[in-house]
Amino acid sequence: MKGSLRAVFLTGAGVSAESGVPTFRGEGGLWRNFRPEELATPGAFKKDPWLVWQWYDWRRKILSGVRPNAGHRALSEIEKEKGAEGCTLITQNVDGLHQGAGSTNVLELHGSIWRLRCVLCAAAAENREVGLEEIPRCACGGLLRPAVVWFGEQLPEEVITAAVEAAGKADFMMVIGTSGVVQPAASLAVRAKENGAYVVEVNTEATPLTSIMDVTLQGRAGDILPLLL
Ligand code: BV8
Ligand code: ZN
């Protein structure tokens, strides 16, 4: 990684696990026995917006009490060492913890849990309120939803375009704390590999991406990433 000119890091929920944030598919990831795939969809929000909002309010409440961990901080240090243009951080996480640790060149593939968007007029703004009693509304009267990408929704055009370009140009990619099941995020690792990048995985367990890795570092991101500095 040290010698690489264009390093790309692709992260998932596992990089926030040590901050105390439940992962999607690990234990503790369920809420009222719903799986994320059942709640993070436009259909679920249409059917029962308050139920979906209670899940997000639960997650935002947890997130408002956590801090970036050593893994987030190490990635921020690496960006400082390599310069933002030599280090792109592509994250599937919506928690904002990479930015909280000081990373600046961050592509949020799935949006941010801290931004809300009006379903009617699409006005969007930062919002950090927790303990909501009812669904927040826009000045225009429309319901506000979390500005995250739900299953079946397109990723933000400019973000996925930048991510695909960075993955294609990378000479080094590290895939950290993702189960590698969600698309198109997981395909970015394949794209980097196909375009000649040296790819490394950091995960506590094997994933569908393990087979394409040049090196797999089995362990916790908070323990392994600081060793890279
Ligand atoms: C799209 C935002 C299409 C919301 C998220 C088949 C059927 C139906 C759909 C599909 C299908 N095949 C593909 C699809 C498409 C679908 C998809 O991929 N489904 C999967 C489930 C099969 N994808 C989509 O719908 C995407 N959109 O394709 O649009 C389209 C095309 C044209 C026109 C219109 C539409 C949108 C996907 C985005 C969904 N939104 N989140 C929210 O957060 O509320 S995805 C959600 O999962 C999170 O973003 C999360 O980041 C992501 C991936 O999960 P991970 O981050 O990997 O987390 P996970 O818990 O799974 O794993 C944690 C890992 O960390 C584990 O490996 C664990 O071992 C490891 N770990 C744990 N602790 C540590 C650790 N590692 C290191 N250290 C530790 N301490
Ligand atoms: Zn509105």
Say which ligand is closest to the CA of 142.
2
Which ligand ends up closest to the CA of 118?
2
Single-letter amino acid code for the residue at 2: K
pLDDT band at 26 (very low <50, low <70, confident <90, very high): confident
Instruction: Give ligand 1 pocket residues (Cβ under 6 A).
Output: 12-14, 17-18, 23-26, 29, 36-37, 40, 92-94, 110, 148-154, 177-179, 181-183, 202-205, 207, 220-221
pLDDT of residue 2: 78
**pTM, entire model:** 0.96
Residue 229: its pLDDT value, please? 86
107: pLDDT strictly greater than 80: yes
Q: Which atom of ligand 1 is nearest to the CA of 207?
A: 67
Q: Is 40 in contact with 199 (CB distance < 8 Å)?
A: no
Distance, CA of 67 to CA of 97 (rounded, Å): 7
Instruction: Round to whole Å and give the CA distance between 113 and 93.
Output: 9
Ligand 1: which of 54, 59, 182 to mutate, judged by most atoms within 8 Å of the beta carbon? 182
Per the prediction, the chain carries an average pLDDT of 96
Quick one: pLDDT at residue 51?
97
Give the pLDDT confidence score for residue 178 in this predicted structure.
98
pLDDT, residue 3, reads: 83
- Which two tokens mark 124? 């969007």
More confident residue, 20 or 30: 20
Query: How does residue 1 score in pLDDT terms, banded at 50, 70 and 90?
Result: confident
Amino acid at 168: G
- Kindly report the backbone phi and psi dihedral angles of residue 189, in degrees, each rounded to the nearest multiple of 5, phi listed first: -70, -40
What is the set of active-site residues? 110
Distance 219 CA to ligand 1 centre (A): 21
For 182, the 3-state DSSP assignment is: coil
Share of the chain above pLDDT 90, in %: 91
